[in-house]
Amino acid sequence: MRLYICEKPSQARDIARVLQAHRRGDGCLQGTGVTVTWCVGHLLETAPPETYGEQFKRWSLEHLPIIPQQWQLVVKPKVATQLKAISRLLQACAEVVIATDADREGEMIAREILERCDYQGPVLRLWLSALDEASIRRALAALRPGEQTLPLYHCALARSRADWLVGINLSRLFTLLGRRAGFDGTLPVGRVQTPTLRLVVERDRAIASFVARPFWTVDVVLQDDGAEFEARWQPPAAQCDDTGRCVDQVAAEQAARRLATARSAQVERVDVERVTEGPPLPFDLGTLQEVCSAKLGLGAQETLSVAQALYETHKATTYPRSDCGYLPESMLDEVPRVLHALAAADPALGQRCKELDPTRRSRAWNGSKVTAHHGIIPTAVVIPLDQLSERERAVYILIRARYLAQFLPHHEYLKTQVQLRSQADQLLARGKQIQVRGWKAVIDETDACEPTEQTQRLPTLQEGGSVGMRDAKVNTQRTQPPKPYTEGTLVKAMKTIANQVADVRLKQTLKDSIGIGTEATRAAIIQGLIDHGYLTKKKRSLAASAAAHTLIEAVPREVADPVMTAVWEQALARIETGQLSVEAFLAKQSAWLTQVVRSQASLNLQLPRSQGPACPVCRSPMRQRKGRTGNFWSCVRYPDCKGTKPVKASAAPAKPKRT
């Protein structure tokens, strides 16, 4: 008997239907020579500290670090019955097919059960990218040897144990040090969550400490043969800051007066460039979360849940937890079927589908760049849109549009830049003229923030000619603070952490890695920070709570350093490729933890003894201090931050006092 082990009951039903395993058994579905069983996510979990010794029940600095010599797993009580059913099936089967999700965690869910039950028989791997019938049949015909995906298990095992080591030891360490300093509360530390939290804390502080500075622009209205267009005055370098903005109001006003009274300007130079843009790649999960946050206001976990439903429940899209937007050339044969299904499901696409060229090969079709999973695309299942919820429909349309874009022409436009002169004043006009709309017919990527002068259509101008001057006006503007993170932009920051690294060699190394966390875990990490009150969400914006600021102040910089975490993730990737052993990786983490515990245990954290108000400058907690005229609230980050509040006004926002 061949036993298929699936990750979820719904996944098992889909596979059993294709295998014609319709007979219901104890925790399984059975057919001729095949049995399909299922997990409910992880049936086992890493044992708690007290399993390794009764002394670890009590949180104590003298017992840190806790580093198991022999790792143990315990059965989750709610799923113990299902584990017993799988154990009985393993004793009776001739071979096992792992049919869990095709990723690290899916591999671990099955492998840890096989080890627990001491299964010694042959193992095959079903590698599924979609749950429609055609995809399941194709995957069943191409089962992989179990040895091929075993490194995924090793990678997941190392990640799980490293998370346990860091979470258990550092959470206990800094919570105990916090209590010693009088802080009433826990300070949970995570291998990924703490660096993620630091990103938001530092962004909040940058926003709070931002000082807006004024600058001035002069916009000029010009005319040529009855066609009006805009140009912008180019201030001399002596009147600009280091970004080229005019910071001399008098100079801007004088230029506006000169230009307003001038009759004409001469065209000195005309540069026209034809720009060709190919379509964006199909979505990976991180990019989908970013776009859904910006366009639909969905959180990262909401987007993942919707994408999972489209994949698992409706069979309408492929596997969602992908970190890759490329597609293998082997899927080109499916293009006509997928396009036909899309047209059949949505009659409104009928005319648009006639414009598609199924033989077009965009840059997305590149098997050499496909990782464990390809980009998220529609399947050949005909799914009427009215069968989807509002959110499912919106996300599906975004995924569908990225796929359709691969079969439309490139977007082409003329980018024009014109330099003009009016006596001593230099002017610059920019324009854009679309030549071929191409793939933008299905993906609207118009940037509403793009200046009008860069999107306008300029008249045909000749070098040496002149244009009429109609008007000139001064605009007073102010520099803007950094924008708060949204869930989408925070996911992007976690992925592209290399952009925040100055070291050239490390930057390149991180560009080749996956950043902080994985596509499968980032949403859960952010949602966990929200659920535990470390991040607050107002509309789409995220902000760090006072407790989050306290935590980031408490831990050493290396613990909250996203670069360090990205390097750890890269080490996990080396385990996946067989270049590093689990034991060697965990030995390094254990040595590092031992060093951190020894160096920190003798220190006294500078934390507030009571949770005061949030600092009006950087949002960190405040503590009471004694001054010449009485007590006052002072930021715990003093002297780096000098925000203060009077004690009597602590409940209400107050303008920060700076000394």
Q: Is 106 helix (H, G, I), strand (E, B) or coil?
A: helix
Apex 223 CA angle, 218 and 227, nearest 5: 125
Distance CA 39, CA 28 (A): 10
Of 480, 428, 476, residue with least CA distance to 250: 476
Q: Is 479 helix (H, G, I), strand (E, B) or coil?
A: coil
- DSSP category for residue 441: G
Tokens standing for residue 490: 């925070």
Q: Is 83 helix (H, G, I), strand (E, B) or coil?
A: helix
- DSSP category for residue 187: -
Q: Is 28 helix (H, G, I), strand (E, B) or coil?
A: strand
Angstrom distances, CA of residue 76 to CA of 42, 524, 595: 8, 20, 33
Distance CA 426, CA 256 (A): 12
Of 4, 79, 320, residue with least CA distance to 17: 4
Of 513, 520, 635, residue with least CA distance to 576: 513
3-state secondary structure 195-234: HHHHHHHHHHHHHHCCCCCEEEEEEEEEEECCEEEEEEEE
Angstrom distances, CA of residue 353 to CA of 280, 360, 445, 494, 503: 18, 13, 20, 37, 48
Distance CA 125, CA 150 (A): 10
Count of helices and strands (H, E) across the chain: 19, 20
User: What Rg do the C-alpha atoms of the chain give, in angstroms?
Assistant: 30
Angular region, 333: left φ>0, alpha ψ -120 to 50, beta rest:
alpha
Distance CA 234, CA 421 (A): 10
Tokens standing for residue 280: 């964006």
At 141, give phi and psi (nearest 5°).
Answer: -80, -5
Greatest alpha-carbon span in the chain: 95
Tokens standing for residue 76: 């989750």
**How far is CA 102 from its chain centroid?**
20
Annotated catalytic residue within 4, 119, 319, 396: 319
Q: Specify whether 326 is catalytic.
A: no
- In degrees to the nearest 10, what's the CA dihedral of 554, 558, 561, 567? -150
Q: Which helix (H) or strand (E) holds 421?
A: strand 411-422
Distance CA 565, CA 571 (A): 10
- DSSP of 329-361, one letter per residue? GGGGGGHHHHHHHHHHH-GGGHHHHHT--TT--
Name the residue with tokens 């230099």: 426
Side-by-side strand order, sheet with 630-635: 622-627, 630-635, 644-646
Tokens standing for residue 370: 């496909």
Catalytic residue list: 319
